[in-house]
Amino acid sequence: MQRIRLRYTKRGRLRFTSHRDFQRAFERALRRAGVPMAYSAGFTPHPKVSYANAAPTGTGSEAEYLEIALTEHRDPDKLRELLDESLPAGLDITDAVEARTSGLADRLTASVWELRLDGVAFDDAEKAVSAFLAAETVEVERKAKNGIRHFDARGAVVELRVLPPQADRPVASACAILRLVVRHLTPAVRPDDVLSGLRAVADLAPPVPAAVTRLAQGLFDEESGTVTDPLAPDREAIPAATPTAAGIAAARASEGPAA
């Protein structure tokens, strides 16, 4: 069985695609592309697809990951092209590698987000961010299945800053863009939780919903303060050489006759 790891995007209007909708679209793409999928056992077999830490509905993403299991060997690059052609524009397969290591989900420990706040001035955003970072804890609430849940949104935030104003944007058009790096803790702190925290500590309330995009996710490097590519270990791993018949015969000859 061959395992392939894929990176895909949610762009434009397809940021509003739910995870379940994406699953259905992806399984249709697998059938269209003729991918030799491995299936689970039982009364209702389904393709062996493992999804890792999907972005919330309504947020865009440049870095979503999944893993598929195949019954026949396929070239990852050709497989990526076939699947990308079979998916709607906006759900794009941007990378594919053969899984040569374990623990992809364990390498998704942090995310980099961009939050676009239309109607918010740069100075107002900077004051709110400073207040948020200065606080030891920022309690927010989120509606869950079992009622309202209260938790700290500050502890998971590694970095939060306002990007400098864009030179090509008119001065009259206020738009603050935040860069957020957040650890994947329990409970998970999402970008909308950080926005709730900014409202709690500085009364920052954008007049329109924020446009949120995940730029990267992977292992957080403590030394550099960056989020690394989770597929890099698979690219760097050296595949084990398959022994040839000649190699096996030579090895047996070197061992000498059996006692």
Confidence label for 259 from pLDDT (cuts 50, 70 and 90): very low
Confidence label for 144 from pLDDT (cuts 50, 70 and 90): confident
User: Which tokens is 227 given?
Assistant: 């989020």
Write the pLDDT tens digit of every residue in 218-232. Answer: 999 988 889 999 999
Confidence label for 258 from pLDDT (cuts 50, 70 and 90): very low
Distance between alpha carbon 65 and the CA centroid of its chain, in Å? 5
Same fold for the domain at 2-104 and the one at 108-227?
yes
- Evaluate if residue 98 carries a pLDDT over 90: yes
The residue with greater pLDDT, 169 or 113, is 113
Residue ranges of the domains in the chain? Answer: 2-104, 108-227
- Average pLDDT of the segment spanning 105-129: 96
- The CATH number of the domain covering residues in 108-227: 3.30.70
Helix (H), strand (E), coil (C) string for 13-40: HHHHCCHHHHHHHHHHHHHHCCCCECEC
Question: Which pLDDT value is given to residue 257?
Answer: 53
- The CATH number of the domain covering residues in 2-104: 3.30.70.580
List the one residue out of 258, 234, 217, 256 whose CA is nearest residue 63. 217
